[in-house]
Amino acid sequence: MALGVLTTLTMVLAAGAPASAADTWTTVGSDRADPLTESQGLASIYLPTGSANRYTGIGTIPAGVSAEGWNHVGDPDASAKGYYIEPYQEDSGTAKMFRVQAPDGTYSEYTHTLATGEALNNSFAAISPDGQWMVSGEYGTMTRLLVYPTPGENASTSPSANLPLAATINLDHAVRDVQGCDFSSATTLLCDSDDPDGTLFGITKPLLQIDLSASLSGQTVTGHVTSLRQLPLTSGCTGTFEVEGIDYDTRTGVLRTIVMSPSICILIDSKTWRLTKS
């Protein structure tokens, strides 16, 4: 859940009509999402010892991490080699943090000092298929995503050094309140948006596809934004839903996204939805 819309570097909408596409993603099922431990994000992890689904929520933040001031966790991701990364932010300050679990189970914290004009938000982590680059995002209306070397897996990174901003993905159409992204290929990101307004793509809470001009290499690339469909909004209560994290499992082709229900139903029928491409 976002802590609010913060000052952004780019607030100008991209010119032209909103990109759109036919609905090619079909809802195939859902599981209840616990509001304490499954309300922010999710990731599928594959290791030689087996596979697992990991979730984040306010209840998954370790006490020691919270004591450091990192009181909000976003949508995590895991690489093919088993590096698992959680994005953290604090209420104020000049940095954001990525907590990395290595394949051997050990944890490290990588801190990034904000670049000029960079928002404090740390909504998600999305690791490129080669494991070398990590995409993250800011909240609000944006025409870019941020690219860092993947902490832990990229050999240029160290917990004792600042994690640098390596590049950006410059989008050809503005996006709003992106809560999570995941790679479905080296040049394609699937993202979910908590956009409550609907003016950018003609629908609220859209599932977005971002096609990159090239695979990530630490250089700035462009991204073509397409709206695929509205995410599932089903509950016993009426009111405002909140879209959270997203995960695409390349081994099964299943896309999962968390949608928290309005009002008291957040405790009852919030869901992790499963979708497949038809």
**pLDDT tens for residues 209-221?**
999 999 999 999 9
In a domain, 19, yes or no: no
In a domain, 121, yes or no: yes
The pLDDT-based confidence of 51 (bands split at 50, 70, 90) is confident
The rounded distance, in Å, linking the Cα atoms of 180 and 119 is 16
- The amino acid at residue 93 is G
- Let me know if 50 is exposed, middle or buried by CB neighbors in 10 A (0-12, 13-18, 19+): exposed
What is the mean predicted confidence (pLDDT) over 262-278?
Answer: 97
According to the model, what pLDDT value does residue 258 have?
98
Q: Name the 3-class secondary structure at 273.
A: strand
According to the model, what pLDDT value does residue 21 have?
55
In a domain, 15, yes or no: no
The number of distinct structural domains making up the chain is: 1
- Domain extent at residue 272: 25-277
In a domain, 36, yes or no: yes
According to the model, what pLDDT value does residue 151 have?
98
- pLDDT of residue 9 exceeding 70: no
In a domain, 105, yes or no: yes
- pLDDT of residue 25 exceeding 70: yes
Is this prediction's pTM over 0.75?
A: yes
The rounded distance, in Å, linking the Cα atoms of 59 and 12 is 36
According to the model, what pLDDT value does residue 11 have?
36
According to the model, what pLDDT value does residue 101 have?
96
The rounded distance, in Å, linking the Cα atoms of 84 and 103 is 8
In a domain, 53, yes or no: yes
Q: What are phi and psi of 266, to 5 degrees?
A: -60, -30
In a domain, 20, yes or no: no
User: Which CATH number belongs to the domain containing residue 48 in this structure?
Assistant: 2.115.10
According to the model, what pLDDT value does residue 47 have?
74
- pLDDT of residue 202 exceeding 90: yes
In a domain, 167, yes or no: yes
Number of H helices, E strands in the chain: 1, 19
The rounded distance, in Å, linking the Cα atoms of 145 and 190 is 13
The pLDDT-based confidence of 52 (bands split at 50, 70, 90) is confident
What is the mean predicted confidence (pLDDT) over 87-97?
Answer: 96
